[in-house]
Amino acid sequence: MHKSGIYIHMPFCKVKCMYCDFYSVADKDEAMPIFFDSLIKEIKMCQIETENWTIDTIFIGGGTPSLMSPVQLESLIKELDINFDLSNVKEFTIEVNPGEAPKERLKSFKSLGVNRVSMGVQSLNKDLLKFLTRIHGKDEVFKTFEALRKVGFDNINCDLIFNIPSQTLKIWRHDLKQVLQLGPEHLSCYSLTVEKGTQLYNYVNSGTIQMPSNDNSSKLYSYTQSIMNDYGYEQYEISNWSKPKLECRHNLHYWEIEPCLAFGPSAHGFDGESRFSNISNLDQYIKKIELGEHPQVHKEKLSNKNYTNELIGFGLRISNGINLDKISEELKHSFEVLLEKNKNKWDKFIIREGNHLRLTEQGYAFADAVAIDLLL
Protein backbone atom coordinates (compact mmCIF):
# COMPACT_ATOMS: atom_id res chain seq x y z
CA MET A 1 0.00 0.00 0.00
CA HIS A 2 1.28 3.48 -0.91
CA LYS A 3 0.80 6.18 1.67
CA SER A 4 -0.65 9.13 -0.18
CA GLY A 5 -2.51 12.44 -0.02
CA ILE A 6 -5.01 14.65 -1.80
CA TYR A 7 -4.24 18.27 -2.69
CA ILE A 8 -6.91 20.80 -3.69
CA HIS A 9 -5.94 24.23 -5.03
CA MET A 10 -8.28 27.14 -4.27
CA PRO A 11 -7.09 29.94 -6.55
CA PHE A 12 -8.80 33.01 -5.07
CA CYS A 13 -7.17 35.85 -3.09
CA LYS A 14 -8.38 39.27 -1.97
CA VAL A 15 -5.17 40.83 -3.34
CA LYS A 16 -2.08 39.43 -5.01
CA CYS A 17 0.95 39.69 -2.72
CA MET A 18 4.04 41.16 -4.37
CA TYR A 19 6.31 38.17 -3.69
CA CYS A 20 3.93 35.27 -4.39
CA ASP A 21 4.07 33.15 -7.54
CA PHE A 22 1.50 30.56 -6.48
CA TYR A 23 -1.36 30.64 -8.96
CA SER A 24 -4.22 32.83 -7.72
CA VAL A 25 -6.56 35.53 -8.98
CA ALA A 26 -7.66 38.64 -7.07
CA ASP A 27 -11.07 40.30 -7.27
CA LYS A 28 -12.76 37.40 -9.02
CA ASP A 29 -14.93 36.18 -6.16
CA GLU A 30 -17.94 36.01 -8.46
CA ALA A 31 -16.30 33.03 -10.20
CA MET A 32 -16.17 30.96 -7.01
CA PRO A 33 -19.46 29.05 -7.55
CA ILE A 34 -18.53 28.01 -11.10
CA PHE A 35 -15.03 27.12 -9.91
CA PHE A 36 -16.51 24.74 -7.32
CA ASP A 37 -18.79 23.15 -9.93
CA SER A 38 -15.72 22.59 -12.13
CA LEU A 39 -13.69 21.18 -9.24
CA ILE A 40 -16.42 18.64 -8.49
CA LYS A 41 -16.49 17.65 -12.16
CA GLU A 42 -12.70 17.31 -12.22
CA ILE A 43 -12.83 14.95 -9.21
CA LYS A 44 -15.46 12.85 -11.01
CA MET A 45 -13.15 12.66 -14.07
CA CYS A 46 -10.20 11.25 -12.12
CA GLN A 47 -8.96 7.99 -13.68
CA ILE A 48 -6.09 7.30 -11.29
CA GLU A 49 -6.23 3.87 -9.65
CA THR A 50 -6.10 4.40 -5.90
CA GLU A 51 -7.09 0.91 -4.69
CA ASN A 52 -3.54 0.26 -3.48
CA TRP A 53 -3.22 3.63 -1.81
CA THR A 54 -3.75 4.56 1.80
CA ILE A 55 -4.94 8.15 1.56
CA ASP A 56 -4.13 9.64 4.94
CA THR A 57 -4.00 13.40 4.26
CA ILE A 58 -6.07 16.10 2.57
CA PHE A 59 -4.61 19.57 2.07
CA ILE A 60 -6.59 22.54 0.74
CA GLY A 61 -4.08 25.20 -0.25
CA GLY A 62 -4.13 28.34 -2.27
CA GLY A 63 -4.76 30.99 -2.88
CA THR A 64 -6.94 31.64 0.11
CA PRO A 65 -9.06 28.58 0.94
CA SER A 66 -10.49 30.31 4.02
CA LEU A 67 -12.62 32.36 1.59
CA MET A 68 -14.70 29.28 0.71
CA SER A 69 -18.10 28.79 2.30
CA PRO A 70 -18.88 25.78 4.50
CA VAL A 71 -21.47 24.69 1.91
CA GLN A 72 -18.77 24.66 -0.79
CA LEU A 73 -16.41 22.72 1.47
CA GLU A 74 -19.14 20.24 2.34
CA SER A 75 -19.92 19.50 -1.29
CA LEU A 76 -16.22 19.10 -2.03
CA ILE A 77 -15.73 16.61 0.81
CA LYS A 78 -18.85 14.69 -0.29
CA GLU A 79 -17.46 14.34 -3.80
CA LEU A 80 -14.04 13.20 -2.56
CA ASP A 81 -15.75 10.66 -0.33
CA ILE A 82 -17.77 9.26 -3.23
CA ASN A 83 -14.65 8.78 -5.35
CA PHE A 84 -11.92 7.82 -2.86
CA ASP A 85 -11.51 5.88 0.36
CA LEU A 86 -11.16 8.59 2.99
CA SER A 87 -11.45 6.24 5.96
CA ASN A 88 -7.70 6.48 6.70
CA VAL A 89 -7.45 10.28 6.59
CA LYS A 90 -5.63 11.41 9.72
CA GLU A 91 -4.72 14.95 8.76
CA PHE A 92 -7.01 17.41 6.99
CA THR A 93 -5.41 20.84 6.57
CA ILE A 94 -6.82 24.08 5.28
CA GLU A 95 -4.87 27.29 4.69
CA VAL A 96 -6.23 30.38 6.36
CA ASN A 97 -5.29 34.04 5.96
CA PRO A 98 -5.33 36.27 9.06
CA GLY A 99 -8.54 38.33 9.16
CA GLU A 100 -10.10 36.35 6.31
CA ALA A 101 -11.62 33.52 8.33
CA PRO A 102 -14.50 34.49 10.64
CA LYS A 103 -14.99 32.33 13.73
CA GLU A 104 -18.33 30.86 12.57
CA ARG A 105 -16.74 29.72 9.32
CA LEU A 106 -13.84 28.15 11.19
CA LYS A 107 -16.30 26.35 13.43
CA SER A 108 -18.07 24.90 10.39
CA PHE A 109 -14.74 23.85 8.84
CA LYS A 110 -13.93 21.99 12.05
CA SER A 111 -17.30 20.28 12.18
CA LEU A 112 -16.75 19.12 8.57
CA GLY A 113 -13.58 17.27 9.61
CA VAL A 114 -10.77 19.79 9.12
CA ASN A 115 -8.30 19.11 11.95
CA ARG A 116 -5.29 21.21 11.03
CA VAL A 117 -5.00 24.86 10.02
CA SER A 118 -2.09 26.61 8.40
CA MET A 119 -2.14 30.38 8.88
CA GLY A 120 -0.05 32.69 6.69
CA VAL A 121 1.33 35.10 9.28
CA GLN A 122 4.48 36.03 7.31
CA SER A 123 5.43 38.84 9.73
CA LEU A 124 4.04 40.83 12.65
CA ASN A 125 6.01 43.94 11.81
CA LYS A 126 3.87 46.74 10.41
CA ASP A 127 6.47 48.00 7.93
CA LEU A 128 7.40 44.55 6.68
CA LEU A 129 3.75 43.56 6.23
CA LYS A 130 3.30 46.74 4.21
CA PHE A 131 6.40 45.97 2.15
CA LEU A 132 5.02 42.47 1.45
CA THR A 133 1.66 44.09 0.46
CA ARG A 134 -0.17 41.98 3.05
CA ILE A 135 -3.63 43.28 3.88
CA HIS A 136 -3.62 42.27 7.56
CA GLY A 137 -1.87 43.58 10.65
CA LYS A 138 -0.66 41.72 13.70
CA ASP A 139 -4.02 42.16 15.47
CA GLU A 140 -5.72 40.04 12.80
CA VAL A 141 -3.10 37.33 13.37
CA PHE A 142 -3.80 37.24 17.10
CA LYS A 143 -7.59 37.40 16.61
CA THR A 144 -7.63 34.60 14.03
CA PHE A 145 -5.33 32.48 16.18
CA GLU A 146 -7.58 33.00 19.20
CA ALA A 147 -10.68 32.14 17.16
CA LEU A 148 -8.99 28.94 15.96
CA ARG A 149 -8.24 27.88 19.52
CA LYS A 150 -11.75 28.85 20.68
CA VAL A 151 -13.40 26.63 18.10
CA GLY A 152 -11.09 23.79 19.17
CA PHE A 153 -8.25 23.53 16.64
CA ASP A 154 -5.33 21.85 18.40
CA ASN A 155 -3.02 21.56 15.42
CA ILE A 156 -2.11 24.98 14.02
CA ASN A 157 0.77 25.96 11.77
CA CYS A 158 2.03 29.50 11.30
CA ASP A 159 3.96 30.43 8.13
CA LEU A 160 6.61 33.09 8.60
CA ILE A 161 8.99 34.72 6.15
CA PHE A 162 12.56 35.84 6.88
CA ASN A 163 15.24 37.35 4.68
CA ILE A 164 12.98 40.31 3.86
CA PRO A 165 14.83 43.52 2.89
CA SER A 166 15.34 45.75 5.99
CA GLN A 167 14.39 42.91 8.36
CA THR A 168 17.01 42.99 11.09
CA LEU A 169 17.77 40.16 13.50
CA LYS A 170 16.11 42.27 16.19
CA ILE A 171 12.84 42.50 14.22
CA TRP A 172 12.91 38.76 13.35
CA ARG A 173 13.63 37.82 16.97
CA HIS A 174 10.74 39.97 18.19
CA ASP A 175 8.31 38.49 15.61
CA LEU A 176 9.38 34.92 16.28
CA LYS A 177 9.08 35.29 20.04
CA GLN A 178 5.56 36.72 19.78
CA VAL A 179 4.48 33.86 17.52
CA LEU A 180 6.15 31.28 19.76
CA GLN A 181 4.27 32.70 22.71
CA LEU A 182 1.02 31.85 20.96
CA GLY A 183 2.22 28.22 21.08
CA PRO A 184 1.37 26.90 17.58
CA GLU A 185 2.03 23.18 17.12
CA HIS A 186 3.96 23.80 13.90
CA LEU A 187 5.99 26.59 12.32
CA SER A 188 7.21 27.02 8.75
CA CYS A 189 9.88 29.68 8.30
CA TYR A 190 10.63 30.37 4.66
CA SER A 191 13.42 32.49 3.31
CA LEU A 192 11.92 35.11 0.97
CA THR A 193 12.63 33.95 -2.56
CA VAL A 194 12.53 36.16 -5.62
CA GLU A 195 10.25 34.35 -8.05
CA LYS A 196 10.01 35.22 -11.75
CA GLY A 197 6.75 36.92 -12.69
CA THR A 198 6.25 38.60 -9.31
CA GLN A 199 6.41 42.31 -8.54
CA LEU A 200 9.31 41.57 -6.22
CA TYR A 201 11.23 40.07 -9.14
CA ASN A 202 10.74 43.24 -11.20
CA TYR A 203 11.84 45.47 -8.31
CA VAL A 204 14.96 43.41 -7.67
CA ASN A 205 15.76 43.22 -11.37
CA SER A 206 15.45 46.96 -11.85
CA GLY A 207 17.56 47.65 -8.76
CA THR A 208 14.66 49.33 -6.89
CA ILE A 209 14.95 46.70 -4.17
CA GLN A 210 18.06 44.93 -2.96
CA MET A 211 17.79 41.54 -1.30
CA PRO A 212 19.70 40.96 1.97
CA SER A 213 23.19 39.44 1.84
CA ASN A 214 23.76 35.70 2.35
CA ASP A 215 25.48 36.51 5.63
CA ASN A 216 22.43 38.26 6.97
CA SER A 217 20.15 35.47 5.85
CA SER A 218 22.37 32.80 7.48
CA LYS A 219 22.38 34.77 10.74
CA LEU A 220 18.58 34.82 10.82
CA TYR A 221 18.38 31.13 9.90
CA SER A 222 20.77 29.95 12.65
CA TYR A 223 18.93 32.11 15.16
CA THR A 224 15.67 30.46 14.06
CA GLN A 225 17.14 26.98 14.55
CA SER A 226 18.35 27.80 18.03
CA ILE A 227 15.18 29.51 19.35
CA MET A 228 12.95 26.74 17.98
CA ASN A 229 15.07 24.25 19.85
CA ASP A 230 14.75 26.30 23.06
CA TYR A 231 10.95 26.27 22.73
CA GLY A 232 10.79 22.49 22.24
CA TYR A 233 10.21 22.33 18.48
CA GLU A 234 11.90 19.68 16.37
CA GLN A 235 13.30 20.63 13.00
CA TYR A 236 12.12 17.92 10.63
CA GLU A 237 12.73 19.79 7.39
CA ILE A 238 14.95 22.64 6.32
CA SER A 239 12.11 25.21 6.79
CA ASN A 240 9.75 23.30 9.10
CA TRP A 241 9.54 22.74 12.84
CA SER A 242 6.91 20.97 14.92
CA LYS A 243 6.12 19.80 18.40
CA PRO A 244 6.99 16.08 18.69
CA LYS A 245 4.90 13.86 16.40
CA LEU A 246 3.06 16.82 14.84
CA GLU A 247 4.99 17.04 11.58
CA CYS A 248 2.85 17.90 8.56
CA ARG A 249 2.16 14.41 7.16
CA HIS A 250 0.91 15.87 3.90
CA ASN A 251 4.17 17.66 3.12
CA LEU A 252 6.08 14.52 4.08
CA HIS A 253 4.30 12.77 1.19
CA TYR A 254 5.96 15.24 -1.19
CA TRP A 255 9.37 14.95 0.42
CA GLU A 256 9.27 11.15 0.58
CA ILE A 257 8.14 11.04 -3.10
CA GLU A 258 4.83 9.38 -2.27
CA PRO A 259 1.72 9.67 -4.48
CA CYS A 260 -0.63 12.61 -4.27
CA LEU A 261 -3.83 13.38 -6.15
CA ALA A 262 -4.19 17.03 -7.13
CA PHE A 263 -7.23 19.02 -8.20
CA GLY A 264 -7.77 22.64 -9.21
CA PRO A 265 -5.93 25.06 -11.50
CA SER A 266 -2.12 24.75 -11.33
CA ALA A 267 -2.34 21.77 -8.94
CA HIS A 268 0.62 19.36 -9.21
CA GLY A 269 0.32 15.66 -8.41
CA PHE A 270 2.11 12.32 -8.61
CA ASP A 271 0.39 9.00 -9.35
CA GLY A 272 3.34 6.88 -8.22
CA GLU A 273 4.78 6.72 -11.76
CA SER A 274 4.23 10.09 -13.40
CA ARG A 275 4.19 13.68 -12.27
CA PHE A 276 1.33 15.76 -13.67
CA SER A 277 -0.04 19.27 -13.43
CA ASN A 278 -3.16 21.21 -14.33
CA ILE A 279 -3.52 24.36 -16.36
CA SER A 280 -2.56 27.52 -14.39
CA ASN A 281 -5.45 29.65 -15.58
CA LEU A 282 -8.86 29.78 -13.93
CA ASP A 283 -10.89 30.72 -17.04
CA GLN A 284 -9.24 28.03 -19.15
CA TYR A 285 -9.61 25.48 -16.35
CA ILE A 286 -13.36 26.18 -16.19
CA LYS A 287 -13.66 26.20 -19.99
CA LYS A 288 -11.88 22.88 -20.44
CA ILE A 289 -14.08 21.19 -17.88
CA GLU A 290 -17.21 22.69 -19.46
CA LEU A 291 -16.12 21.07 -22.73
CA GLY A 292 -15.65 17.73 -20.95
CA GLU A 293 -11.85 17.92 -21.31
CA HIS A 294 -9.39 17.16 -18.54
CA PRO A 295 -7.55 20.29 -17.28
CA GLN A 296 -4.23 18.44 -17.12
CA VAL A 297 -1.58 20.04 -19.33
CA HIS A 298 1.53 18.16 -18.33
CA LYS A 299 2.32 14.55 -17.52
CA GLU A 300 5.76 12.99 -17.38
CA LYS A 301 6.92 9.60 -16.25
CA LEU A 302 9.50 9.90 -13.50
CA SER A 303 12.53 7.94 -14.70
CA ASN A 304 14.41 5.85 -12.16
CA LYS A 305 17.28 8.34 -12.27
CA ASN A 306 15.00 11.35 -11.69
CA TYR A 307 13.13 9.51 -8.94
CA THR A 308 16.44 8.77 -7.22
CA ASN A 309 17.60 12.37 -7.62
CA GLU A 310 14.36 13.55 -6.04
CA LEU A 311 14.90 11.09 -3.17
CA ILE A 312 18.40 12.51 -2.68
CA GLY A 313 17.44 16.20 -3.11
CA PHE A 314 14.43 16.07 -0.78
CA GLY A 315 16.10 13.56 1.56
CA LEU A 316 18.89 16.04 2.29
CA ARG A 317 16.24 18.53 3.43
CA ILE A 318 14.39 16.29 5.91
CA SER A 319 15.43 14.87 9.26
CA ASN A 320 14.39 11.37 8.10
CA GLY A 321 17.09 11.75 5.48
CA ILE A 322 17.51 9.74 2.28
CA ASN A 323 16.05 6.25 2.56
CA LEU A 324 18.82 4.30 0.84
CA ASP A 325 16.57 1.24 0.54
CA LYS A 326 14.47 3.16 -1.97
CA ILE A 327 17.44 3.52 -4.35
CA SER A 328 17.47 0.74 -6.94
CA GLU A 329 20.43 -1.67 -7.03
CA GLU A 330 21.61 -0.35 -10.42
CA LEU A 331 21.95 3.22 -9.09
CA LYS A 332 23.12 2.44 -5.57
CA HIS A 333 26.69 1.91 -6.70
CA SER A 334 26.88 5.27 -8.56
CA PHE A 335 25.50 7.02 -5.48
CA GLU A 336 28.05 5.36 -3.18
CA VAL A 337 30.85 6.43 -5.57
CA LEU A 338 29.67 10.07 -5.46
CA LEU A 339 29.40 9.90 -1.70
CA GLU A 340 32.93 8.56 -1.36
CA LYS A 341 34.28 11.19 -3.78
CA ASN A 342 32.77 14.04 -1.71
CA LYS A 343 33.39 12.46 1.67
CA ASN A 344 36.06 14.87 2.90
CA LYS A 345 34.14 17.92 1.75
CA TRP A 346 30.87 17.20 3.58
CA ASP A 347 31.78 14.57 6.15
CA LYS A 348 31.11 16.75 9.18
CA PHE A 349 27.56 17.51 8.03
CA ILE A 350 26.50 14.00 6.98
CA ILE A 351 25.19 11.29 9.32
CA ARG A 352 24.64 7.73 8.15
CA GLU A 353 22.46 5.57 10.38
CA GLY A 354 21.54 2.14 9.03
CA ASN A 355 19.70 2.60 5.74
CA HIS A 356 19.28 6.38 6.15
CA LEU A 357 21.62 9.21 5.29
CA ARG A 358 20.87 12.69 6.53
CA LEU A 359 22.36 16.11 7.14
CA THR A 360 23.05 17.46 10.62
CA GLU A 361 21.14 20.58 11.71
CA GLN A 362 24.21 22.71 10.85
CA GLY A 363 24.32 20.93 7.52
CA TYR A 364 20.84 22.10 6.44
CA ALA A 365 22.31 25.48 5.50
CA PHE A 366 24.42 23.66 2.88
CA ALA A 367 21.71 21.30 1.60
CA ASP A 368 21.70 22.77 -1.92
CA ALA A 369 25.48 22.62 -2.25
CA VAL A 370 25.59 19.02 -0.97
CA ALA A 371 22.80 18.07 -3.38
CA ILE A 372 24.81 19.44 -6.32
CA ASP A 373 27.64 17.06 -5.39
CA LEU A 374 25.45 14.03 -4.72
CA LEU A 375 22.85 14.14 -7.50
CA LEU A 376 23.27 11.42 -10.11
CA 45 to chain centre: 25
Q: How far is CA 65 from CA 21, 25, 62, 112, in A?
A: 16, 12, 6, 14
The residue (of 76 and 101) whose beta carbon lies closer to ligand SAM is 101
3-class secondary-structure state, position 83: helix
Among 6, 8, 10, 13, binds ligand SF4 (CB under 6 A): 13
Determine the residue with CB nearest ligand SAM. 120
Q: Is the dihedral of CA 305, 310, 315, 317 positive or negative?
A: positive
Is residue 20 involved in binding ligand SF4 (CB under 6 A)? Answer: yes
Residue span binding ligand SF4 (CB under 6 A) among the ranges 61-69, 236-244, 248-256, 299-307: 61-69
Nearest-approach distance from CB 2 to ligand SAM, in angstroms: 26
Adjacency order of strands within the sheet including 356-359: 322-323, 356-359, 350-353
Is residue 64 involved in binding ligand SF4 (CB under 6 A)? Answer: yes
Nearest-approach distance from CB 28 to ligand SF4, in angstroms: 12
Instruction: Give the footprint of ligand SAM on this chain (CB under 6 A).
Output: 19-20, 22, 62, 64, 95, 97, 120, 122, 159, 161, 190, 192-193, 195
Closest CA to 233 of 225, 148, 182: 225
Q: How far is CA 5 from CA 10, 16, 361, in A?
A: 16, 27, 28
Residue span binding ligand SF4 (CB under 6 A) among the ranges 62-70, 230-238, 264-272, 314-322: 62-70
Nearest-approach distance from CB 239 to ligand SAM, in angstroms: 9
Residue span binding ligand SF4 (CB under 6 A) among the ranges 58-66, 266-274, 284-292, 324-332: 58-66
Burial class (CB in 10 A: 0-12, 13-18, 19+), 99: middle
Is residue 17 involved in binding ligand SF4 (CB under 6 A)? Answer: yes
Q: Which amino acid would we find at residue 81?
A: D
Q: How far is CA 278 from CA 238, 248, 293, 315, in A?
A: 28, 24, 12, 26
Residue pair 278/296 in contact (Cβ under 8 Å)? The answer is yes
Nearest-approach distance from CB 236 to ligand SF4, in angstroms: 23
The residue (of 195 and 330) whose beta carbon lies closer to ligand SF4 is 195
Is residue 318 involved in binding ligand SF4 (CB under 6 A)? Answer: no
Is residue 316 involved in binding ligand SF4 (CB under 6 A)? Answer: no
Please report, as ranges, the residues that interact with ligand SF4 according to CB under 6 A: 13, 16-17, 20, 22, 24, 62-64, 97, 120
